Amino acid sequence: MLFPTRCPACGHENRAEFADSSIHDLTCASCGARYCLFIRKQRFEVLFDLGTRALMDGYAREAVASFAAALERFFEFYVRAFALERAANTEGDFTAASAELDATWKHVASQSERQLGMFALAYLLREGCAPDFLSPQALGADFRNRVIHRGSLPRREEVEAYAARVFALIDRLLTELGSGAAHAELAQEQAFAAHLDALPDGVTAVFEEHPGMFRAQRFGSERPGKTHPARSVGAGPLSAPLNDAQAFARALAERGSLLTLLKKS
Ligand SMILES: [Zn+2]
């Protein structure tokens, strides 16, 4: 998936391809200047936005794969945020904790069922209650499998309902994570810093924050949970009910136009 980026030297609009690392080493097609673009966005956000864009453009079936992948990557994000938050609360060293986390994740990286297991435990330990929203029905697993593995052609309304379900779940868990999410974001900042340090002379570093379905909300308002360590365990879920179909529709109306960066052209 290509997106437009402006050369910091001459202003020419180049096109770049989203990278897993969010780090893009680029050379301007017009003036030849080299620059490195860092996009402060988590993979689950990129995937969800790509799904939303595909849905808006009429690619309902393709959208399902992106929404499903967004949810899986969000579970990883949650596990990472939880593990790093816990290390920080016990005054652990961030770099060491991050390395142990990476080594642990290797055991589950290739199997989504294992990742779901890790997420379930992380949720229990952090919130003190069972992740009752993980049932196949609640996750829309049948629908997803029918579309992705059995080639079913979904109707747009079905995809919108699935998107709404995934959106509501991620939105609720982000709310519960509150400032805990910053720990996983710090890991991205560290990867950026390491890459930045190694950039050769003459390469300009450019940092961007691309607006998206979650981003605006995450940084646009104070979230509950800021004082998480003091929150009592067992307090239970604190936010919007699951399957709030309106939440996705509202976000789409408010922020869908922000996704123009992803427009196919
Ligand atoms: Zn240029």
* Burial call 48-72: b when 16+ CB within 10 Å, e when fewer: bbbbbbbbeeebbebbbbbbbbbbb
Which residues have a beta carbon within 5 Å of ligand 1, which is an ion?
7, 9-10, 12, 28, 30-31, 33
What confidence category does residue 231 fall into, taking pLDDT thresholds of 50, 70 and 90? very low
The mean pLDDT value for 56-75 works out to: 95
Q: If you search the block for the tokens 């499903």, which residue do you land on?
A: 68
Model pLDDT for residues 139-197, shown as the tens digit of each residue: 899 999 999 999 999 999 999 999 999 999 999 999 999 989 999 988 889 899 999 99
Domain assignment present for residue 6? The answer is yes
Q: Whole-angstrom Cα distance, residue 99 to residue 103?
A: 6
Number of separate domains in the chain? 1
Q: Whole-angstrom Cα distance, residue 218 to residue 167?
A: 13
In the reported structure, the alpha carbon of residue 37 is separated from the centroid of ligand 1 by a whole-number distance in angstroms of: 13
pLDDT for the residue 93: 84
* Contact by Cβ (8 Å): 158, 115: no
In the reported structure, the alpha carbon of residue 265 is separated from the centroid of ligand 1 by a whole-number distance in angstroms of: 21
In the reported structure, the alpha carbon of residue 34 is separated from the centroid of ligand 1 by a whole-number distance in angstroms of: 8
Domain assignment present for residue 199? The answer is yes
Domain range for 144: 2-223+237-262
Model pLDDT for residues 82-117, shown as the tens digit of each residue: 999 998 888 778 888 999 999 999 999 999 999 999
Give all strands (DSSP E) within the chain, no chain letters. Answer: 2-6, 13-17, 23-27, 34-39, 204-208
User: At 205, phi and psi to the nearest 5?
Assistant: -95, 135
In the reported structure, the alpha carbon of residue 29 is separated from the centroid of ligand 1 by a whole-number distance in angstroms of: 7
pLDDT for the residue 211: 80
pLDDT for the residue 262: 62
Edge-to-edge, what's the strand order for the sheet holding 204-208? Answer: 23-27, 34-39, 204-208
DSSP-based three-state secondary structure for 247: helix
DSSP-derived letter for residue 161 is: H
Least confident of 5-19, 191-205, 247-261: 247-261
In the reported structure, the alpha carbon of residue 205 is separated from the centroid of ligand 1 by a whole-number distance in angstroms of: 14
pLDDT for the residue 19: 92
Domain assignment present for residue 232? The answer is no
pLDDT at 47 over 70: yes
H-type helices in 133-265, by residue range?
136-139, 141-148, 156-177, 181-197, 215-220, 245-255
Domain assignment present for residue 196? The answer is yes
The mean pLDDT value for 65-71 works out to: 96
Mean pLDDT rounded to a whole number for the chain: 85
CA neighbor of 217 nearest in space, from 248, 188, 183, 251: 251
The mean pLDDT value for 56-62 works out to: 92
Domain assignment present for residue 96? The answer is yes
Q: If you search the block for the tokens 């297991």, which residue do you land on?
A: 117
What confidence category does residue 236 fall into, taking pLDDT thresholds of 50, 70 and 90? very low
What confidence category does residue 78 fall into, taking pLDDT thresholds of 50, 70 and 90? very high
